[in-house]
Amino acid sequence: MSSIEIAVAAGAVVLLVPTLTLALEVIASLPKRAGRALAGRRPGLAVLVPAHDEAALIGETVRTILLQLLPGDRLIVVADNCSDDTAAVAGAAGARVIVRSDATQRGKGYALDFGIRHLAHDPPEVVLVVDADCRVGEGCIDRLARECAATGRPVQALYLMHAPAGAGLTARIAAFAWALKNRVRPTGLARLGLPCQLMGTGMAFPWACIARAELASGHIVEDLKLGLELARDGSAAHFCAEAQVASDFPSSAEGVKSQRTRWEHGYLGVLLRDAPSMLVRSLVTGNVPLLALSLDLCVPPIALLVLLTGAVWLAAAVLYALAGTAAPLLLASAELALLACCVLLAWARYGRNIISGASLAFAPVYALAKIPLYARFLVARQMDWVRSKRDHERST
């Protein structure tokens, strides 16, 4: 067997891991289940809202959170390195505001660490984290707090992002891809009795858990990093689909590009750096939750998985045409068919209200359009935290 044949066959074998993991998650998510009753007692809590230049949005976020708090609960907005009126607007809306100014240490992780150290003087039982641009669903705070107290584990709400009104095809496909990642896959894991990744907002932590976490970093996907570290230490996050938070994709091309680059470059960096060692560690230690999250981490963004699977199939087809080697082509064809089935099943169960079937047919074009983003990961990877430009802002 030539080196080319070995390389193509190896590529097809490697892609079995994310493809089969995705298939298991999607299939497990399909059965409809009745909503769960509220768990346990309502603990005392504090909500942390890290905010960097969010004056246009923070007031409404604060007001919707306050509606769900009880006497004794606290809402802390961390105005982090702000150059606008975030602190004043949040304070006027009813939040307690603490201000952090440190231009050398930028990023959400540093803001969360600042907030936790502030709460350490009078710690609550449970700490919730909500991003400044998120809408908190009805009953979300109460359900997250109760689930967290009852399980003694971090709890992750369902976090969805919606395409803005009148958004084009690309935004609607992106919204479906987000739902596949943040709704379908964690739902499947939860029904298998397995944990989920943290999503950055709509998160609840027992005080003892978050107080010992290493939060102070400028990592561009600090939520993913935190969830994996907690799972390694025996505190993997539990998914609660009944609690929901939501926000909107930016409508500006600049905002979308910045947001996607930060998320996907950060995710791929963690996947390549940490997934192999985590898989080995989970197998050696018998840590099943960490194994589940390690396998879940191996599933790249769906657009990239489509591109990689398509590229391996094309290489296998060429190899078959030139040398008559059939095995790689059969494996790659099976993977491509399984991936297509996964996407269609997820759409049929969860995506019909997001995108039409006719529009979904353009998903391969959407994946091809993201090739420059993945190419930049190889030659000019984004390493630092950069806030996405909001729709109310304009370039100067």
Q: Is residue 386 part of a domain?
A: no
Cα–Cα distance, 44 to 326 (Å, whole number) = 62
Q: Is residue 390 part of a domain?
A: no
pLDDT digits (tens, 9 = 90+) for 190-247: 999 999 999 999 999 999 999 999 998 877 788 999 999 999 999 999 999 999 999 9
54 and 9 share one domain: no
Expressed as residue numbers, the domain containing 224 is 45-251
Q: State which H helix or E strand residue 110 sits in.
A: helix 108-119
CATH classification of the domain holding 152: 3.90.550.10
- From 128, 131, 143, 7, select the one nearest 73 (Cα to Cα): 128
pLDDT of res. 394: 42
The reported pTM is: 0.91
361's CB contacts (< 8 A; 6+ apart) are none
88 and 218 share one domain: yes
396: confidence class by pLDDT, cuts 50, 70, 90? very low
Alpha helices in 94-221 (DSSP H): 108-119, 140-151, 169-179, 185-191, 207-211
CA-CA-CA-CA torsion sign (319, 321, 324, 325): positive
The dihedrals phi and psi of 240, each to the nearest 5 degrees, come to: -125, 95
Q: Is residue 114 part of a domain?
A: yes
Q: Is residue 39 part of a domain?
A: no
**Residue finishing a domain among 211, 235, 251:** 251
pLDDT of res. 22: 98
pLDDT digits (tens, 9 = 90+) for 162-191: 988 777 899 999 999 999 999 999 999 999
**Residue finishing a domain among 216, 251, 286:** 251
First-to-last C-alpha distance (Å) of the chain: 58
Pairing of strands 238-248, 155-162: parallel
pLDDT digits (tens, 9 = 90+) for 52-90: 999 999 999 999 999 999 999 999 999 999 999 999 999
50 and 190 share one domain: yes
Q: Distance of CA 212 to CAs 116, 120, 208, 235, Å? A: 10, 11, 7, 12
Under DSSP, the state recorded for 152 is S
151 and 233 share one domain: yes
Cα–Cα distance, 265 to 200 (Å, whole number) = 16
Q: Name the domain count of the chain.
A: 2
Q: Is residue 345 part of a domain?
A: yes
Q: Is residue 96 part of a domain?
A: yes
Residue pair 188/29 in contact by the 8 Å Cβ criterion? yes
- Beta-bridged to residue 100, according to DSSP, are 80
126 and 243 share one domain: yes
Cα–Cα distance, 134 to 144 (Å, whole number) = 15
119 and 161 share one domain: yes
pLDDT of res. 379: 86
41's CB contacts (< 8 A; 6+ apart) are 146, 149, 150
pLDDT of res. 383: 62
Q: Is residue 36 part of a domain?
A: no
Query: Is the pLDDT assigned to residue 391 strictly greater than 60?
Result: no
232 and 285 share one domain: no
77 and 188 share one domain: yes
pLDDT of res. 386: 55
150 and 239 share one domain: yes
79 and 176 share one domain: yes
- Beta-bridged to residue 159, according to DSSP, are 245
pLDDT of res. 329: 94
Cα–Cα distance, 115 to 43 (Å, whole number) = 19
57 and 156 share one domain: yes
330's CB contacts (< 8 A; 6+ apart) are none
243 and 306 share one domain: no
pLDDT of res. 263: 85
pLDDT of res. 246: 95
